[in-house]
Protein backbone atom coordinates (compact mmCIF):
# COMPACT_ATOMS: atom_id res chain seq x y z
CA UNK A 1 0.00 0.00 0.00
CA UNK A 2 2.79 2.41 0.87
CA UNK A 3 4.56 1.48 -2.35
CA UNK A 4 1.41 2.27 -4.36
CA UNK A 5 1.10 5.66 -2.67
CA UNK A 6 4.72 6.45 -3.43
CA UNK A 7 4.29 5.48 -7.08
CA UNK A 8 1.14 7.57 -7.34
CA UNK A 9 2.85 10.59 -5.81
CA UNK A 10 5.81 10.16 -8.17
CA UNK A 11 3.46 9.93 -11.18
CA UNK A 12 1.54 13.04 -10.07
CA UNK A 13 4.79 14.92 -9.52
CA UNK A 14 6.11 13.90 -12.97
CA UNK A 15 2.84 14.98 -14.57
CA UNK A 16 2.97 18.31 -12.73
CA UNK A 17 6.58 18.88 -13.81
CA UNK A 18 5.68 18.01 -17.42
CA UNK A 19 2.73 20.42 -17.50
CA UNK A 20 4.57 23.30 -15.81
CA UNK A 21 7.78 23.42 -17.81
CA UNK A 22 8.91 26.96 -18.70
CA UNK A 23 8.50 26.39 -22.45
CA UNK A 24 4.98 24.91 -22.36
CA UNK A 25 3.23 28.26 -22.70
CA UNK A 26 5.38 29.31 -25.63
CA UNK A 27 4.75 26.00 -27.40
CA UNK A 28 0.99 26.19 -26.91
CA UNK A 29 0.84 29.79 -28.16
CA UNK A 30 2.94 28.85 -31.19
CA UNK A 31 0.68 25.86 -31.98
CA UNK A 32 -2.43 28.04 -31.80
CA UNK A 33 -0.87 30.69 -34.03
CA UNK A 34 0.04 28.04 -36.61
CA UNK A 35 -3.32 26.31 -36.45
CA UNK A 36 -6.13 26.68 -38.94
CA UNK A 37 -7.90 29.14 -36.61
CA UNK A 38 -5.80 32.06 -37.80
CA UNK A 39 -5.23 30.96 -41.39
CA UNK A 40 -8.82 31.47 -42.60
CA UNK A 41 -11.45 34.12 -42.19
CA UNK A 42 -14.10 33.00 -39.71
CA UNK A 43 -16.75 34.66 -41.83
CA UNK A 44 -15.91 32.37 -44.72
CA UNK A 45 -15.87 29.28 -42.52
CA UNK A 46 -19.18 30.02 -40.83
CA UNK A 47 -20.99 31.35 -43.87
CA UNK A 48 -21.98 27.89 -45.11
CA UNK A 49 -23.70 26.95 -41.83
CA UNK A 50 -27.10 28.56 -42.40
CA UNK A 51 -27.24 27.31 -46.00
CA UNK A 52 -26.45 23.76 -44.88
CA UNK A 53 -29.14 23.88 -42.18
CA UNK A 54 -31.68 25.21 -44.67
CA UNK A 55 -30.86 22.39 -47.09
CA UNK A 56 -31.18 19.77 -44.35
CA UNK A 57 -34.52 21.24 -43.28
CA UNK A 58 -35.76 21.22 -46.87
CA UNK A 59 -34.75 17.56 -47.24
CA UNK A 60 -36.56 16.70 -44.02
CA UNK A 61 -39.72 18.46 -45.16
CA UNK A 62 -39.55 16.83 -48.59
CA UNK A 63 -39.21 13.34 -47.16
CA UNK A 64 -41.97 13.87 -44.59
CA UNK A 65 -44.57 15.12 -47.07
CA UNK A 66 -47.25 12.82 -48.46
CA UNK A 67 -46.47 13.76 -52.06
CA UNK A 68 -42.95 12.43 -51.79
CA UNK A 69 -44.27 8.98 -50.97
CA UNK A 70 -46.21 8.78 -54.21
CA UNK A 71 -43.19 9.51 -56.40
CA UNK A 72 -41.87 6.72 -58.54
CA UNK A 73 -38.44 6.87 -60.06
CA UNK A 74 -37.74 5.30 -63.41
CA UNK A 75 -34.32 3.78 -64.03
CA UNK A 76 -32.28 5.53 -66.72
CA UNK A 77 -32.02 4.11 -70.22
CA UNK A 78 -29.27 1.53 -70.23
CA UNK A 79 -29.59 0.98 -66.47
CA UNK A 80 -27.42 2.29 -63.70
CA UNK A 81 -23.89 2.23 -65.07
CA UNK A 82 -22.05 3.36 -61.95
CA UNK A 83 -24.11 1.69 -59.23
CA UNK A 84 -23.34 -1.98 -58.84
- pLDDT tens, position by position, 28-44: 888 888 887 777 788 88
Dist CA 10 CA 15 (whole Å): 9
pLDDT at residue 11 is higher than 80 = yes
For residue 33, tell me if it sits in a domain: yes
Does any domain span residue 9? Answer: no
pTM of the model: 0.37
Q: What is the pLDDT of residues 42-66, one digit of tens each?
A: 888 788 899 999 999 998 888 888 8
Give the structural domain span for 45. Answer: 18-62
Does residue 35 lie in a domain region? yes
User: What is the percent of the chain where pLDDT is above 90?
Assistant: 13
Residue 72 lies in a domain: no
Specify the number of domains making up the chain. Answer: 1
Q: Whole-number mean pLDDT of the chain?
A: 83
| Residue 74 is assigned to a structural domain of this protein | no
57: left (phi over 0), alpha (psi -120 to 50) or beta: alpha
Is 77 part of any domain? no
Answer whether residue 47 is part of any domain.
yes
pLDDT at 74 over 90: no
Amino acid sequence: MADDTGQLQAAIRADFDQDNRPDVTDRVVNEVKCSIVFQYSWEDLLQAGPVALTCLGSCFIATASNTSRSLTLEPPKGGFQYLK
